[in-house]
Amino acid sequence: MDQTKNRSRRPWAVFAVVACITIATIAHAQEGPPPPAPAAPENAAAAAAAAQLAPLLGGAEFMLIVERPFEAEKLFNAVLAQDPSNAHAQDGLRRVALAKRVNWTFLTHGYNNNLDASLITYGGGPTFYNSHGKVTFWVGDGFFKNDINGDNPDNPLSFLAPILGTADDEALRKQTVSMIWEPYYKQFDGYVYLNRTFYQEAPDRTLWNLRGTWNRRAGRETYSIFAGQHDSYLQSDLAQFFAPESFTAVVNKLLSREVGASAQIPIGKKIDVNPGFSYLDYTDGNARRIWRAQAMYRILPKGDNPLPIFRVGIAYLWDDANQPSLSYYAPIDFQSVSIAADYVYVTGKYRFGVFGTAPLTKTSGTGFGRFDPYWTLFSFVNYKLSPSREVWVKFTGVHSANLSPKLVDIVAGINLRF
């Protein structure tokens, strides 16, 4: 077998990491400081009334966490209709008024891997809220670069340097205009993402993503269908702006059109099963099928508490393309099994989450679509400086030994309400 060609395919396995990043329920919370604790009831009747109102107050707080202030307002008003002096509900309405305001986000994004690819962008824009969801408008600017270094001992694609010559030396300016609409109605959520990306030295492209979800049991049982057009395998409704896969994919305007379905199905109180399937049709004629399955055991939360969430389990992936490619990640008959764990914790000021995988299996695949599995890590931290100011950071990392890929992706930003 031609070892040079074989090595050239393996690094593109870095783009498999998102298959294991499945925290689809990470909330972009805008919660305020904890409300004052209600006074202790003086008698049995008062205790019974307080117990009756507790589910309404808890539901209202959850609606604020998932950025549905109009739903929270209804629940707080329902409490005040029964108990006009309820301090918790009164404070809740003050926080609802703040949560209805336009939220401005400003962010910067950096990406780097051992294939000499890098991305630096910045941007942001406003988010508007209404009684059926929210709409975000963002603009961005920055540069993507994939200047392959023929002397880089960690880059197995270094043999392409003399073939490309100086064509890939300059950074490609990348400008974006995006709209994200996230509607909801009763047990149904929607997600619509539209993006127009402009390159000064490469073809422009339109990217999009659609997802519809039925929340049969909020937080435990969900069913989704989705479709999209991407210029990176890593792009999804959770990572819309991930870097393109390669210089050649950008200049040749190689896109993938994806359709699929996923679900989270509870088994008893402790086990979550997450099956999923995607079909990708590439504009160069290639095609690919991806099956995912994950079984997670819930160590936390205890009782009826929604948070913190701590789960440990097993993740399986089968990924099969018709043919390999030097321009984008395309494994053939690849299978892997990994240990998976995630943890999510939310307080009045902090939100923290981490998800990681550790492979149990070794090299897999056929021919030039053969590669090794990887250690992966995704985490996020949000800190509320004040009720109207929040800073946040998201991190994605991949590590593997020898000449296999290393990847770091960091996004940092601030949310402001005026």
pLDDT, tens digit (0-9, with 9 covering 90-100), for 173-188: 999 999 999 999 999 9
Rg (CA), the chain: 23
Mean of the pLDDT values across residues 78-87? 94
| Best CA proximity match to 199, nearest among 256, 140, 147, 258 | 140
Q: What percent of the chain has pLDDT over 90?
A: 63
Query: According to the model, what pLDDT value does residue 29 have?
Result: 33
Kindly tell me if the per-residue pLDDT of 40 is higher than 80: no
Residues 191, 237 contacting (CB under 8 angstroms) = yes
Residue 43 confidence (pLDDT): 67
Give the chain's domains with CATH numbers.
3-31+101-417 (2.40.160)
Tokens of 48: 């019974």
- 229-277 pLDDT, tens digit per residue, is 999 888 888 788 888 888 889 999 999 999 999 999 999 999 999 999 9
pTM of the model: 0.83
Pairing assessment for the beta strands 221-230 and 256-267 based on DSSP bridges: antiparallel
- pLDDT tens column, 318-360: 999 999 998 888 899 999 999 999 999 987 788 899 999 999 9
Q: Report the b/e string of 80-108 with b at 16+ CB within 10 A.
A: beebeebebbebbbebbeebbbebebebe
Helix/strand/coil percentages in the chain, nearest 5: 20, 45, 35
CA distances from 52 to 84, 221, 254, 364 (A): 15, 26, 57, 56
pLDDT in tens, 279-314: 999 999 999 999 999 999 999 988 777 789 999 999
Q: How far apart are CA 23 and CA 376, in angstroms?
A: 13
For 346, residues 6+ apart whose C-beta sits below 8 A from its C-beta are 27, 29, 31, 65, 307, 308, 352
* Cβ proximity of 197 and 207 under 8 Å: yes
Question: What count of Cα atoms within 13 Å lies in the side-chain half-sphere of residue 414?
Answer: 7
**Strand (E) or helix (H) holding 133:** strand 133-146
Of 36, 7, 5, 25, the closest CA to residue 296 belongs to 25
The predicted structure's pLDDT at residue 210: 97
Average pLDDT value for residue range 32-44 = 49
In sequence order, the β-bridge partners of residue 206 are 196
What digits encode the pLDDT tens for the residues 137-179? 999 999 999 988 888 887 777 888 888 888 888 899 999 999 9
Helix pair 87-99, 69-82: axis angle to 10 deg: 160
Q: What pLDDT does residue 161 have?
A: 85
Supply φ then ψ for residue 61, to 5 degrees. -65, -40
Residue 271 tokens read as: 């086990």
2: pLDDT strictly greater than 70: no
